[in-house]
Amino acid sequence: MRALIVYESMYGNTRKIAEAVARGLGDGSEVQVVPVGDAAEVDPSDWDLLIVGGPTHAHGMTRGTSRDAAAEAAAKPGSGLTMEPAADAGGLREWLDSLGRRAGNAAAFDTRIDAAAFLTGRASKGIGRKLEHSGFTLVAEPESFLVTSHNELVADEEERARAWGGRLASGVGGRPASPGPVAD
């Protein structure tokens, strides 16, 4: 199976989850993990499975203003937060809006604060909706991976992401290959 993982990450947690999902897809899969800032260089229709994940900001996907707020929070003395090198290279919302009509198998995940989802919101819902709007078929329910209020991954979330990747691989392994892009 060939899988493309496109992620957005300000502080590195979503990148770590993306890398754990990639490990879970298994040795039998060809996997490319790409920060959203580099996603314009790959064709997301060219894979058996597209997996897209990003941080939850203000109950949904990031926006320019929330990314600025994330950078300001990291710049505060003693924040303990380190910005990812490509954190200022654009967001998933903008990339997903640029996709146009596509087809293929996809899955969505987010990272969010460890609290009830109705309080925190979930970026993966919006990511999934935009993927479906572009014509992708979601092969799994959007999934959340949890961080503490100090922006550290909750214990065992990388292992849970690896297991989620394994389930995606076994689910998509039996599906027909992506039919490729469709015309409007």
Under the rule (CB under 6 A), what is the footprint of ligand FMN? 9-14, 55-59, 66, 69-70, 73, 111-113, 120-121, 147, 151
Q: CB of residue 49 vs ligand FMN: minimum separation in angstroms?
A: 21
Q: How far apart are CA 53 and CA 42, in angstroms?
A: 16
β partners of residue 33: 5
Q: Which is nearer to ligand FMN, 103 or 113 (CB)?
A: 113
Q: CB of residue 156 vs ligand FMN: minimum separation in angstroms?
A: 16
Per the listing, tokens 């909750």 go with 154
Q: CB of residue 38 vs ligand FMN: minimum separation in angstroms?
A: 16
Q: Which is nearer to ligand FMN, 17 or 169 (CB)?
A: 17
Q: Which is nearer to ligand FMN, 106 or 146 (CB)?
A: 146
Per the listing, tokens 């970026």 go with 123
